[in-house]
Structure 1
């Protein structure tokens, strides 16, 4: 009888632990906006999130008055990262989340699949002047769709280099290219030269490069971040 009661107690404790674990996992916020909504006083820093169908992710959150932004990329001029990585490396991400890094195409895809998002790109130029570009919608296709980028309307204090219709320079609606998977429209591999990005024929904007490029700006530091629009 005592043995049976002990087994029941152990079974109950294990069951309680499993329920607690599931509840804890389900409570993990899906992005930085969810964190800000739960805690209006949340400050910028590292947090754990879990987009739908994603493993737990450690991300940098930038908290602003209009909500939380989830950082998907950060790069600085002369970065220690070469950025000329393989398709698989870009798929799952690399770098230091506290510094220069790429979150990972698969995780960006899962993030943007769960809601409608917008993209904000913030620049610090060589004169330490703040600049930005923002796109009203942003999402990636799945890996089967080559992580093709889809962008909305542009606003900002720099010239649009991702959606304006310039021959060979369109970023919007382009598949992602890397040194080992060349999906651009150029005779040579833009990804092998400039790092993984959405290339037409190389163009005027590629931010995953040791010297991040956006025509019209001398970039010192750049950060890409996303936020839900609803």
Structure 2
């Protein structure tokens, strides 16, 4: 299935990187920029501890390298209502809309303490962001449960706010074939794989990415080591 193996698109890039670089392969985008201060935003090969080689999109901001784990847009051709195994290993095109893969996100957030930044553009081309000071997901045996820290941003918090039925924090990941939400039905069947309570106020892997309070046109989720 094309969506389940997007790294194959960039196999040649991986071979070039491995064949020409003698330096230690970076574990995330921050290590990319620490090894090369001239590194700019773009695609790089990384290898989180315990992971195979991955090609990721790195967003360079000053001396920081953010590793993109998700990108989605209303113009996306991706089908987000797919199964557990596809979400586990990732799908889409890392150049555009994609999900990096729960297993790789788990391995990355296991190796260091990370924070999460979500960047939005709305229908009027205004930009917004939400940041969580801690971001980690459990292993597959823990159903890739999400764990978030304190929030800041210029949008309302839609992931850790204490409203019954809408809390994303500490929820298991759900897909159309593995339902771990708290709704009577299966939120992922309609809205894509995500950490659902009762379908909630944020669904960023939806065909129409959703964050209550703004009309999302595009969204990116990215992580950065805290220290």
Regarding TM over 0.5, the answer is yes
Taking structure 1 as reference, are residues 116 and 187 closer, same or farther at Cα in structure 2, changes over 3 Å only?
same
Which of 63, 88, 91 aligns to 1:91? It is 88
Which of 177, 181, 204 aligns to 1:180? It is 177
Distance 1:215 1:82 in 2: 22
Distance 1:26 1:193 in 2: 45
Distance 2:61 2:122 in 1: 21
Partner of 1:200: 197
Partner of 2:27: 30
Partner of 2:4: none
The answer on 1:53 being equivalent to 2:50 is yes
Gaps of 5+ in 2: 1-17
Which of 124, 130, 133 aligns to 1:133? It is 130
CA drift of 1:25 comes to: 7.8
Aligned-residue RMSD, C-alpha: 1.5
CA drift of 1:122 comes to: 0.2
The answer on 1:145 being equivalent to 2:179 is no
CA drift of 1:142 comes to: 0.1
What is the number of equivalent residue pairs in this alignment? 210
Q: Which runs of 4+ in 1 moved over 6 A?
A: none
- TM-score, normalising length from structure 1? 0.89
Q: 2:86 is paired with a residue of what secondary structure?
A: helix
Gaps of 5+ in 1: 1-20
CA drift of 1:41 comes to: 1.6
Larger radius of gyration: 1
Distance 1:216 1:127 in 2: 14
The CA deviation string for residues 8-66 of structure 1, in whole angstroms up to 9 with x for no partner, is xxxxxxxxxxxxx89x6871000000011111221000000000010000000000014
